[in-house]
Amino acid sequence: MNYADMTVKELRELAAERGIKPAYPGNKAQLVIALEEADKGAAELTPEPETAPEPETTPEPETIPETETTQEDNEKPCYKTYVGPNIPGGLLTHGKILYGTERSIREFMAPVLERYPKVESLLVPMEETERAMRDVKNPKKLLYHKAQELTSETKRNGG
């Protein structure tokens, strides 16, 4: 089943039908992960405690050292979430979830990346979606500025 094409409401309903209780039921990425884990026969998921989440202690993306990507990494299927602004003409929307290998995602995104190369910096691994969605709204974060630059660029190009 392709959960990425479903709405948050549809995902919530499906999760409820299956008795799945994701940690963040309003977050599409978390719902998709919870449903896929259930499909794989993972252990029963339990909800997070009703307390505020712990502050993140991971470094900001600009401080994470670059690692070499191997051919094997490019062939592993993965999920990416686009956290930038909507691209005119329906080419790409905020929150779009993409699934495939790094190479297949790049091939699929080629027309958009050709016209708007900054889009690539706003595609984040599914695991980083929640943080990235916060960062893209925070003027103190790099992702915010990348999204603003892309918004300006799309407007200049007739968007």
Is there a single domain that holds both residue 28 and residue 78?
Answer: no
Of 123, 83, 131, 134, which is closest to residue 100 (Cα–Cα)? 123
Residue 51 maps to a domain: no
pLDDT at 132: 93
Chain centroid to Cα 131, Å, comes to 10
pLDDT at residue number 45: 40
**Whole domain around residue 100: which residue ranges?**
74-156
103 and 31 together in one domain:
no
Number of domains in the chain: 2
Specify the pLDDT at position 123: 93
Could you give the C-alpha distances from 67 to 34, 64, 81, 127, 128, in angstroms and in order? 28, 9, 20, 17, 17
pLDDT at 42: 44
Q: Is residue 143 part of a domain?
A: yes
Q: For residue 56, what pLDDT is reported? A: 54
- Tens place of pLDDT per residue across the chain (159 aa): 777 788 888 888 887 877 777 666 667 777 777 777 777 764 444 444 455 555 555 445 444 444 455 555 557 899 999 999 998 877 789 999 999 998 998 888 888 888 889 999 999 999 999 999 999 999 999 999 999 999 898 888 765
Q: Is residue 134 assigned to a domain?
A: yes
Predicted pLDDT of residue 34: 76
